Amino acid sequence: MPIEFQDDRGAGRLLAVEDEAVVGHIAYFVLADAPHALVAVHTIVEQDREGRGIAGGLVKTFYGIAAAEGVPVVPLCPYAASWAAKHPDEAPEPAAEVVLAAKAQLAADRDLR
């Protein structure tokens, strides 16, 4: 069965679902100040599901959601940052001030880590 991606904005999670089970997710938050970027904090895939492209699918979908909303992505997650560096055509680099604002919000809010 194919992986389905579901945005659970209220929980700050983009879920990868297979056979009705969550097999991975991106933990993220929305930047409080304009331009309200989507900030990827962690990308996690269940160990028994690794190596199937799920993490890449999550990050690609995450960038697609941001593009549809007209906001940038700040990839603070190392995996998301690595994916973005390898796919610059799909992952535009955010402005430096947006990155700084995202890092400041993450540092100020323990619940986001």
Joined together, the tokens standing for residue 112 give 């986001």
22-66, pLDDT tens digit by residue?
Answer: 999 999 999 988 889 999 999 999 888 888 889 999 999 999 999
59-82, pLDDT tens digit by residue?
Answer: 999 999 999 999 999 999 999 999
Spatial distance between the Cα atoms of 37 and 18, rounded to a whole number of angstroms: 28
Task: Give residue 59's pLDDT.
Answer: 97
User: Are residues 41 and 106 in contact, defined by beta-carbon separation less than 8 angstroms?
Assistant: yes
Q: Which residues pair with 6 in a beta bridge?
A: 15
Spatial distance between the Cα atoms of 95 and 4, rounded to a whole number of angstroms: 30
Instruction: Flag whether pLDDT at 113 surpasses 70.
Output: no
